[in-house]
Amino acid sequence: MAQSEIDKVRTLLTSKPRPVGWPERRKRLDEIGSVWPVADDVKLEPVDITGLEGEWSIVPASDPSRVLLLFHGGGYCSGSIVSHRRMVTEAGRAARTRTLAIAYRLAPEHSFPAAYEDSVKAWHFLRECDVPASRIAIGGDSAGAGLVVGLISQLRDAHEELPACAWLVSPWTDLTLSGSTLATKDGVDPIIHKAYLNELVDVYLPAGVERNDPRVSPLYAEVSGFPPMLIQVGSAETLLDDAVRFARIAGAADVAVTLEIWPHMIHAWPLWNAQLEPGRRALASAGAFICAHVFSERVSLG
């Protein structure tokens, strides 16, 4: 069943060639990410974070005092609240939290550090809303996962309180593109290829910012003192080695890190959870991980 389901998603992803031009690419990702709408019981609410667009979501059984802050993927050049809405809202259901999705600024119109700055703005917005850091989980897929690591690094270096935990899906951790699976998985990954990643890096990084800068390539970041992390990656994606190497580095730095490698799954497969049973199971696993950390106060008092 799972194999036939992932084959249907592969067909969706490869049914049209990759568009030319950033507006067309963004439109295409919004289309394929929103093929399946959000569930009927999801309540959505837009929010203006001093000029930064965000969206709250919650389902009836979730605790509004706990928040999952999420940054979408798309190579820092595409992706949106729309493209990731189904994944975000179902992640919140699994974690029993409210979610806050962020429409951070995109390259090439806004190169680094625009998205990086927006992630910090979103965090401070939550804290100014009197949400304790211990009740916030942060997550992201692909490039969004890179923003998660960059945000935690900045908070730690500023001696601010850190989130309870972090959730990384198919993380893009190495903008130098040195991962071995960029070559060995190229034939089975339907969407992420080295030439495409090079194109993204070229427009995301301005002159003077090196590809191994730890602010953009988490693989080269100092991660000691990080909160517990869950990393989920598919075995059929070219960024597999980015996830495995980052998990190894985090573990060597005494960070509590859990690495899940999902057989036959492709890049950011939880996006298609409405169609894909392993996508739903991945979200359930992430939800259990997040619950264990953002509800720890309640457990310790109860």
Q: Tell me: the pLDDT tens digits for 35-66?
A: 889 999 999 999 999 999 999 999 999 999 99
Which of 80, 267, 285, 293 is catalytic? The answer is 267
Which of 90, 153, 237, 285 is catalytic? The answer is 237
Question: Does residue 142 carry a catalytic annotation?
Answer: yes
More confident: 13 or 98: 98
- Band (pLDDT 50/70/90 cuts) for residue 266 is very high
What is the mean predicted confidence (pLDDT) over 107-120? 98
Question: Does residue 34 carry a catalytic annotation?
Answer: no
Q: What percent of the chain has pLDDT over 90?
A: 89
Mean pLDDT of the chain: 95
Q: Tell me: the pLDDT tens digits for 208-233?
A: 999 999 999 999 999 999 999 999 99
DSSP conformation letters of 123-181: HHHHHHTT--GGGEEEEEETHHHHHHHHHHHHHHHTTPPPPSEEEEES----TT---TH
- In angstroms, the CA 152 to CA 51 distance is 22
What pLDDT, on a 0 to 100 scale, did the predictor assign at position 121? 98
Instruction: For residue 85, give the nearest of 53, 63, 61 by alpha carbon.
Output: 53
Which of 57, 83, 119, 142 is catalytic? The answer is 142
- Band (pLDDT 50/70/90 cuts) for residue 300 is very low
More confident: 36 or 127: 127
Question: Does residue 224 carry a catalytic annotation?
Answer: no
What pLDDT, on a 0 to 100 scale, did the predictor assign at position 3? 73
